[in-house]
Amino acid sequence: MPLLQWLLLSLLLLPLMELVAFIAVAVAIGFGWAVALILLGSFCGMLLLRHAGGSHIARIRSAVSGRSFTALEADGRGGLIIISGILLLIPGFITDAIAIVLLLSPLLRSAAEALGLRHRAPPPRSPDGVLDLEPDQWQRMPDPRLSDERRGSPPRHE
């Protein structure tokens, strides 16, 4: 079965799967607590979209209006935040679990890099040959030839 058919089938079965998951959680912890968890997840999704996703949504709007999709490609983490917020807004435990996984994977990656447990991949080169580096990946070095050329004397060769 092609991927598109699996995706369509899972989207059609999602409400049924969410109902089964809700009933299982309600039996385990009680109906009131299950409803409270659903409401808490939706509230967290609203807060996530409002605060963390707001700047990303504005960036996507400006990229789409300017027909520049390079900003959309560079904002992968912001896209995950927006998708996670939307999934948290949808009432249900399955969509909440997917949203939490999407939120935690970039956090775990960042924590591993910060602790030195994982090496950063080199930044990709753009088609025009420009290599964009993070501020901590480069430093300014004085060029002794540049100062000589500005004074009009020939550059030094060492």
Whole-Å CA distances, 89 to 30, 139, 140: 22, 43, 46
Question: How many domains, in total, are found in the chain?
Answer: 1
Q: Is residue 72 part of a domain?
A: yes
Domain presence at residue 134: no
Q: Does any domain span residue 125?
A: no
Is 88 contained in some domain? yes
**Sign of the C-alpha dihedral, residues 46, 49, 50, 51?**
positive
Residue 150 has a pLDDT of 52
pLDDT at 53 (0 to 100): 65
Is residue 137 situated within a structural domain? no
Looking at the domain assignment, is residue 130 inside a domain? no
Q: Residue 21: give the domain boundaries.
A: 13-117
Q: So what's the pLDDT on residue 110?
A: 72
Provide the pLDDT for residue 135. 75
Cβ distance 3 to 12 under 8 Å? Answer: no
Residue 78 is predicted with a pLDDT of 72
What residues in the chain have per-residue pLDDT under 50? 72, 74
Model confidence pTM above 0.85: no
